Amino acid sequence: MEFGPHLLLATLEGAIGAAVLALMAVGLSIVFGIMRVVNVAHGEFYMLGAVIAWWITSLIGGHPAYGFVVALIVAPLLVGAIAALADHLVLRRIDYDPERTIVATIGLLYVLQQLTLMTFGADARPVEAPFNKRIALPWFENGADGFAMYWPWGLSTTTYKLAVIAAAVVVLIGLWLLMTRTRAGLIMRATQLNRDMALAHGIPVEKVYALVFGLGAAIAALAAVLIVPIQQAHYLMGGDPLLLSFIVVIIGGLGSIPGTIVAAILIGMSDGIISVFFSPTLAKILATLLVAFVLIFRPQGLFGKRES
């Protein structure tokens, strides 16, 4: 494939990766920002979202869109509820102690993963996209007969892939509005700024924590429902996105939503483009290297604020 069309295809693939990664990482980021909990089980909430989406769509017959829409609503709610329950049963009891929560969420990771393996099984299972039409994309060339449009071989995307990008943007805008324009967002930000002061002002901090933990997991699950018609549900699918999310959150600045989104676009796009032109392994190497440099030269992340 020629360079121009190749780059366009790489950019599109990168954009899908970036969209899903942004959702996933924002979930991780708000949990860390508000609760100071490094949630190692975040990838498993993502996986649960996909598995529940498969379960719901296989229960509901008829046009694939019916099942998908139900999954889009129910899977995040269910996963959010599971996460809130985990917060209530586990994290609250260890007082949100930073070190102990890491160990606890590692435990949670294994519990969720193995329970899925025992019930859902080890197979990858497909979910049918609600709509999926191939769109051939044109390219422009300044040839002998002047500027002409042509349709390069293989340069295409699907309507569903474009919809995933659009949906991710809508969810991210919605989340930003929630955090900055609503009372719930105000309460969350207050809790983030100073837990004790918030408590003194009558904010039920423990309830806020449970909700935030649930919200973070629900966003991951939503990302999974969006991606599952492209990728299939599998009990080990949470591993790679978790690693990338950590990279994104560290680069963007722990707890900073705009930083996380910018970093997700940076990592997602570069992952897509570098893997197309070079190799997927090189893309991972460069992302990890970037994290190392950020940690050395700007430990608070690109958008993070240095703690005073």
Rounded to a whole number of angstroms, the minimum distance from the CB of residue 258 to other proteins is 27
Rounded to a whole number of angstroms, the minimum distance from the CB of residue 62 to other proteins is 14
Query: 176, 186 in Cβ contact below 8 A?
Result: no
Q: Is 154 or 204 the residue whose CB approaches other proteins more closely?
A: 154
Closest-CA residue to 223 (of 164, 178, 300, 151) = 164
Burial call 236-269: b when 16+ CB within 10 Å, e when fewer: ebbeebbebbbbbbbbbbbbbbebbbbbbbbbbb
Q: Is 208 or 220 the residue whose CB approaches other proteins more closely?
A: 220
Q: Is 165 or 178 the residue whose CB approaches other proteins more closely?
A: 165
Rounded to a whole number of angstroms, the minimum distance from the CB of residue 55 to other proteins is 14
Query: 44, 307 in Cβ contact below 8 A?
Result: no
CA distances from 67 to 45, 52, 286 (A): 20, 11, 39
- Where do runs of H (alpha helix) occur along 87-97? none
Three state DSSP letters for 98-118: HHHHHHHHHHHHHHHHHHHHH
Q: Is 128 or 141 the residue whose CB approaches other proteins more closely?
A: 128
Q: Is 17 or 27 the residue whose CB approaches other proteins more closely?
A: 17
Tell me which DSSP letter residue 93 carries: G
Rounded to a whole number of angstroms, the minimum distance from the CB of residue 232 to other proteins is 6
Rounded to a whole number of angstroms, the minimum distance from the CB of residue 45 to other proteins is 18
Rounded to a whole number of angstroms, the minimum distance from the CB of residue 135 to other proteins is 9
d(CA 54, CA 221): 12
Structure tokens at 166: 């659009």
Q: Is 107 or 280 the residue whose CB approaches other proteins more closely?
A: 280
Residues at the site binding other proteins, with contacts judged by CB under 8 A: 1, 5-6, 9-10, 13, 16-17, 117, 121-124, 126, 128, 132, 134, 136, 153-154, 156, 158, 230-232, 234, 236-237, 240, 272, 275-276, 280-281
